[in-house]
Chains A and B, each alone.
Chain A
Amino acid sequence: MDIATKSIRSLPNGKTLDDLIMRETREVSLAVMNDEELYQWELENLFGMGWNLLGHESEIPDANDYVVRPMGEDLVIVARDRQGQIHVSLNVCPHRGMRVALGEEGNAPAHKCIYHGWAFRPNGDFIGAPVEKEQMHGGLCSKAELGLKKARIELYGGLIFATWNHDGPSFEEYLGDAKFYFDMLWKRTDNGLEVLGAPQKVSIDCNWKCSGEQSGGDGFHTLSLHRWLIEAGLFRSDGDDPTDLAPAMYGINVSANGHNARCIPIEGTFDIAKKMDASKMSLEDRLYKLAPPGIHKELVPQLQKHLSQEQIELLVKSPPQVGGIFPNLNFLFVYAPQPDGEVLGAMAIHIIVPKGPHRSEFWTWMFTEKDTPEETKEKMLRNAVQQVGTSGLIEQDDTDTWPHISLASRGYKGRKDMTLKYQAILGESKPEGWPGGGKVFAGFSKDDTQWEWWEAYYAAMNKTYD
């Protein structure tokens, strides 16, 4: 977005987006973590009119299965109908505002509101109310008008995305140049992914953006917050200088529309790849001996079918290991290469769900390829639970950090004068022959893609809807 674009919106206190997001100096006022009015804009512009991840189709495999999921602070029913089609509708009764589906998950051919008995099909259509001949819904609105509010839905690699913006860009347009990279993760096998279970959910006392901006591609925090990875010997280290422990910081960060992926050369990260002298191995050899995260060796031929040669090369040399989809999705493909190809790493997706300016929920789905052998799936689940999510040895430290930032934004001086800074600039540079699009930042991971996240935030917030 052109930096000359100016904010068309202002808060009741007179502050504009330009006062909060200082694009010339690449700073963001800490007040963004505290402001109630800004939060209400976010619910509309980002979570209402943007695309939201709601789950994966494998969570509702059978007809009439449903899950209840958040789009911002709105809860929606994500249901599969008898034809196998998935629908997303607002979980609010059009009669008197009661929550219709009461569980987090279930299976129901009709969703009947417990308050006055109005009933709805899995696709949201109004069926009727008790004592049909007395017509509880009156005579002003037709039955067709009294269904649950329906969201627009798109499936991407089985992931379910929805928005209330029926006229905006498609999800694939929204991904833009990021699609090339994300296809390597979610659209690479015949039968695709399946969840390893329901999402883990925890509550965090922080503004959702504490997690959101990190999902924009925060490389630096690995060095400090995730230092345990190095102390435990999981990440490669060189030399005695502790600040030099960071071969994993060198890679290629890509960004498009605020989405990002960190493509990290595996030799730089993992001792095992170095010991195997991976740089001298053929592509074919690498595919089997150092299979990409989540790919069992039986699935390698499928990769070759679904991905281009360029994508495969990237996947075995510098796979996207962490990244995000704007605004609140963070993904991890944690590499755990083993000589026997047995342990397959962890594949996880998080969303941070806004629950007020200073409260959020952090959700974690864990995945496997559907065609992975059953006994391997359990190993993958163990591996994922131990590394990421609620108790994950890597991620337990993130969730305990964010509340402090939220608290700091409540202070008078904190919100007035303090800024988040993204001034470590690597700059765009595309390695020769780089196959993908988007903005490409090759080298030591700096603030570039995180700043692109804030640019996307600015662009999405600087719009008004009726």
Chain B
Amino acid sequence: MTNLAVEKPDNLAPHTDRIPVGSPLYNQIVEHLYDEAALLDTLDLRTWQKSFTEDILYQAPVQITGRKSERLPKKRQMMHLFENYFSMEMRIHKVHDTAVCWAEEPRSRTRRLITNIRAWKTETENELSVVSYFLIPRNRFESNEYQILSGERQDRFRLIDGELKLARRNIILDMSVLSMPNLAIFL
């Protein structure tokens, strides 16, 4: 099976390749993530689509509660999302260009809160590894409650002509039973 997981540098090891908080490159990454959140929250998905590479792999593995003292039964890794450029286009088309995406019509109110951003240079010259946390409250219809998802994005960005393009996103969700009845929103 293709290994899509973005290598996450060991948090405690001293890094020479860390992109320091506040440095120009770090600031560019933060701006990019904030802008991306705004595009997703406003459903400006065609603009968002321009910010990823054509070989993008975008996935959200299913989480399983297991015990420290036991191994999990051996089987393939199930996904909630398991996407490439073509399938992302299908998803964007459905929610953006049709009026029959009932999971988002009327549309949800969402707020992507992106924090704890850490970034590293990688062995590939123009590629950056970026890890961030997210909290996404989603509100539907007149509900007085939020459907909330929190988790971690493990991203790989490619710098192309000075611009950041998303090439890999591995989404670690904090729930084994999702609080949302569907994932018709992008994470």
Contact = CB atoms under 8 A, between A and B. Distances in A.
Interface stretch (A192-200, A293-301, A452-460): A192-200
A197 B94 contact: no
B82 A198 contact: no
B176 interface: yes
B67 A400 contact: no
Interface stretch (B16-24, B39-47, B109-117, B179-187): B179-187
A397 interface: yes
B71 interface: yes
Nearest to B140: A400
Interface of A is mostly: mixed
Contacts of B87: 382, 386
Interface stretch (B6-14, B26-34, B100-108, B155-163): B100-108
Contacts of B2: 378
Size range of the chain A interface in the assembly: 35 or more
A112 B87 CA distance: 45
A403 B80 CA distance: 21
Given A197-B79, A378-B2, A202 B181 contact: yes
Given A198-B75, A366-B78, A107 B70 contact: yes
A86 to B, nearest CB: 12
Interface in A194-246: 194-205, 225, 227-228, 231-232
Interface residues of B, number: 43
Interface in B35-69: 60, 62, 64-67
A339 interface: no
Given A203-B177, A385-B82, A400-B181, A198 B70 contact: no
A107 B71 contact: yes
Contacts of A393: 90-91, 94
A396 B72 contact: no
A462 to B, nearest CB: 32
A23 B64 CA distance: 44
Contacts of A197: 62, 75-79
A9 B107 CA distance: 44
Interface of A: 58-62, 65-67, 102-108, 194-205, 225, 227-228, 231-232, 361-362, 366, 374, 377-378, 381-382, 385-386, 389-391, 393, 395-397, 399-403
The 5 nearest A-B residue pairs measured at CB: A197-B78, A399-B181, A106-B70, A391-B183, A396-B182
20 contacts: A104-B64, A194-B75, A196-B76, A197-B62, A232-B90, A232-B94, A362-B181, A366-B78, A374-B1, A381-B79, A382-B87, A385-B79, A389-B80, A390-B81, A390-B182, A391-B80, A397-B103, A397-B182, A399-B182, A403-B181
